[in-house]
Amino acid sequence: MRSLGLDVGDRRTGVAISDGRGIIATPLTVLASTGESALMEEILTLVEEHKVECIVVGLPRRLSGDLGKQAGKVTAFAEKLSCLAKEKCLDQLDIQLWDERLSTKAAERLKARGDGQRGDQHFRAKKGTRNQNPAIKAEVDAIAAAFILQGFLDSRHLDDNGEP
């Protein structure tokens, strides 16, 4: 079963896709979050193009596990996306929310290692500054979507004892 992973943000949405067997997640693209309706249409176009059966939407929780303002936005987005999918006769599409805690941090560290940087210095500016490269931020969003999707895929392949 092929799945999409989404890291929904106010400016960009990172998108990842699984292989056909639903085992490995790979960053796919980044979509501009310019308008909710347009974004949803782009996502559903990817669903049809790649024959996706499941969308995994990252749910931003606080480290304590509580849901904040952004989690409410993401939950509402997922519900609207589900309604739009049904309107477009994509009834087979399963939309799941998945805890995304620390996925962006993990993506930043992975990207930094790939670029030969130490830690996450390449991505985090001093508090109050805005000197991050937008292209790098976009890559991180797609990688974060892959982390979200991979966590979901891994959970589906574990038995009750936590063994593959």
Report how far residue 113's alpha carbon sits from residue 17's, in angstroms, rounded to the nearest whole number: 22
Q: pTM value?
A: 0.79
The CA-atom distances, in angstroms, between 90 and each of 16, 76, 81, 82, 86 are 19, 19, 11, 9, 5
Q: 18, 28 in Cβ contact below 8 A?
A: no
Report how far residue 100's alpha carbon sits from residue 77's, in angstroms, rounded to the nearest whole number: 15
For the chain, list the domains and their CATH numbers.
3-156 (3.30.420.140)
Residue 95's pLDDT is: 97
Q: What is the mean pLDDT of residues 92-120?
A: 67
Question: Does 12 have pLDDT greater than 90?
Answer: yes
Residue 41's pLDDT is: 97
